[in-house]
Amino acid sequence: MVWQLSSGGRTPRSTPRVRRLGRHESPRRTLPLPRLAAFAERVERTPALDGPVRALSDALVRALPSGTRLDDVLHGVPFGQPAHPALVRLPLGCWTSAVLLDFLPGAHLVPEGGIARWPGVQRFPGAQQASTALLAAGLTAALPSAATGLADWSALHRYQQRVGLVHAVAQGGATTLFGASLLARLIGRHKTGKALSLAGLAAASAGAYLGGHLALRLGAGASHAESIEHLSPLGWHDLCPVNDLPDGRPTRRQLGYLSLLALRQGSEVHVLSDHCAHLGGPLHQGRVVTARDAACISCPWHGSVFRLSDGAVMHGPATARQPSFECQVTDSGWVQVRPRTLGKRA
């Protein structure tokens, strides 16, 4: 019992009684979504997956050297964003549509007039053929989707690769089940084909959840560069004396809370955001390289190459442009910077 203040003094107020759980009782079940999130987080912290992760990652790096045209296309560099999230919608959409068609009224083979026993039910005589065609289209689209996914996965951090590996296993299992469903339908075992499609959709849904965890919770595919657009209305900002920048060697400089990469080449100064757009690697620790006759910086973590003049992506795995700054040197010898407007090059 607790006491409650009132106008006449303190009066006793009863508190709700808490029922104790019996020996064989368990707490009320919670929703499944937190459990799915907890499972995904456990996968992140499972070092037992590191063996197969390392073996597969090394094989992919050997088979797909960084900086090649094929590597850039698989990462999505020509498109300005990762190719895998867009391509993966094709097989998932086809397979989901196929399962939906399987359960439309009259989608199975029915003799003429047989549907008359079901008044008011519309027949869909072509649904079975359409479902089979959608399965085949989904299996075809799964190949480029898997290729782009593996390319992106090979350039992730280890804890991200653990989740990506389980995601790939789930999607590979789904692809196998849908392939078996297509084969069963082609030999006339339509009920078996439908059951296999349902199992495949369940596996694909589990894999899609892990893919969402990888992209949205762990940031795979998102730009990790610090935003600088809020500085545009403020005009020019003093960065540092130009003589503090060694010639030809990238260095890190702070502009308030922003970390910037600054490189002086003779009388010219280039400044980019220091955190790599791919996964936030420190660009000031990278190498100055030449790509397509332009001076560039290579990220020390995964090898993304950005043009120093405007931050354009020359080679992946990064797909987002690195935020860049216009630079000027004042009469007093100070380097001033302001965010570069879109489409304007030095």
pLDDT of 114 > 50? The answer is no
Domain 229-339 homologous superfamily, CATH:
Rieske [2Fe-2S] iron-sulphur domain (2.102.10.10)
pLDDT confidence of residue 230 = 82
225 touches 323 (CB < 8 A): yes
pLDDT confidence of residue 180 = 97
Residue 223: exposure state from Cβ atoms within 10 A (0-12, 13-18, ≥19): buried
Q: What is the pLDDT of residues 167-185, one digit of tens each?
A: 999 999 999 999 999 999 9
| Candidate from 34-38, 116-120, 291-295 with smallest mean pLDDT | 116-120
Q: Whole-model pTM above 0.75?
A: yes
CA dihedral of residues 72, 78, 82, 84 (deg, nearest 10): -80
The token duo for 52 is 């197969």
Query: What does the radius of gyration of the chain's CA atoms come to, in whole angstroms?
Result: 29
SS3 204: helix
Residue 152: exposure state from Cβ atoms within 10 A (0-12, 13-18, ≥19): buried
CA–CA dist 192, 182 (Å, integer):
10
Rounded to an integer, the average pLDDT of 292-316 is 94
Rounded to an integer, the average pLDDT of 134-156 is 96
Assign 234 a pLDDT band (cuts: 50, 70, 90).
confident
User: So where are the chain's domains?
Assistant: 32-112+121-217, 229-339
pLDDT of 111 > 50? The answer is no
Q: Are strands 287-291 and 313-315 parallel, antiparallel or unpaired?
A: unpaired
pLDDT of 203 > 50? The answer is yes
| Candidate from 46-60, 73-87, 178-192, 331-345 with smallest mean pLDDT | 331-345
Residues 6+ apart with CB under 8 A from 74: 64, 83, 147, 148, 151, 152
Residues 6+ apart with CB under 8 A from 27: 21
CA–CA dist 254, 317 (Å, integer):
26
pLDDT of 106 > 70? The answer is no
State the distance between the two ends of the chain, measured CA to CA, in whole angstroms. 75
pLDDT of 117 > 60? The answer is no
